[in-house]
Amino acid sequence: MEKIYTIPVNEAYSSPCDCPICKLHSLSEQKYIEYYLGPSLMEPDTRILTNKTGFCQHHFGMLNKSDINRLGLGLILHTHLLNINDDLSKDLATAVPDKAGLFKGKNSDYKSKLISIADHIDSRVDMCPVCDKINDSMKHYVEVIFWMFKHDDSFKAKFADTKSYCLPHLALLLREASKLSQNDAADFLSVLTSNFYSSTSELIKDVEWFTLKFDYRNTDKPWGNSKNSIQRAMRFLSGDCKEFDEQGKK
């Protein structure tokens, strides 16, 4: 019997995609973008968090493209800017060194102070509650995948039929597989590596044929599956991205 926490995993593995874990990541990302632009932005705990963290460049971009709540985005940005201003103004007020003069020698202490302030700014820019929530969700999803592989024969068949995984999510699965017993790891990895070999072999052939199609001797020959091989190769190497052609058109 399907449980509520297995539904998203089953749906991702049932839908056509290059990497089902990318699909789960995308669903989580959209959910949390909507969460932070929804009623939660008026909750004190949420505003205390977003006042401090803001969002990463990528998720600021997603928030900007969303039409859900422009006023809410403005409110988040306003109080976050106030927080940033209060925080950095104290540091920057002491950042300007005294000029060396006739009666005042050189002092290089300002250099370490500037580096410290820059490091602090970097740490603030790197904060993102959407990233944190997605990372937490992905850990749970991967745990569910391994549980279902062992206990759900129908899912195990879906897993075996999966075309491929992008490299970042292949690494995620391998890390989780390292926690298995030797026999369970052998069972899981035999399926995973078999999928890897077959999918990468097919992808390499498709990308090669894409390049060969630029030879005039192959102009009239069919493209086969190579027309979108460049985009598929990018998704395999780095994960799904909306800027990759056919993904961007959706």
89 three-state secondary structure: helix
Which pLDDT does position 245 carry in this prediction? 63
pLDDT of residue 249: 47
Average pLDDT over residues 65-89: 94
- The pLDDT of residue 111: 87
Confidence at 102, pLDDT banded by 50, 70, 90: low
Question: What is the mean predicted confidence (pLDDT) over 238-248?
Answer: 69
Alpha-carbon torsion, ordered 108, 112, 117, 120, to 10 deg = 180
pTM reported for the whole predicted model: 0.85
1-5, 87-91, 114-118, 133-137 — which is least confidently predicted?
A: 1-5
Dihedral class, residue 239 (left if φ above 0, else alpha if ψ from -120 to 50, else beta): left
What pLDDT is stored for residue 2 in this prediction? 58
Amino acid in the structure at residue 113 = K
Taking the domains of the chain in order of start, what are their residue ranges? 1-96+109-152, 163-250
User: What's the whole-number average pLDDT of the chain?
Assistant: 90
Q: What is the pLDDT of residue 241?
A: 75
Whether 33 and 134 have beta carbons less than 8 Å apart is answered as no
CA 71/CA 63 separation, integer angstroms: 12
Report pLDDT digits (tens) over 192-202: 999 999 999 99
pLDDT at 240: 79
Q: Where are the alpha helices (DSSP H) in the chain?
A: 7-14, 20-37, 44-53, 57-65, 70-92, 109-125, 129-151, 153-161, 167-177, 182-212, 229-238, 245-248
Token pair listed for 70:
């422009």
Residue whose C-alpha is closest to residue 192's, from 209, 171, 206? 171
Q: How much is the pLDDT for 67?
A: 85
- Spatial distance between the Cα atoms of 230 and 249, rounded to a whole number of angstroms: 15
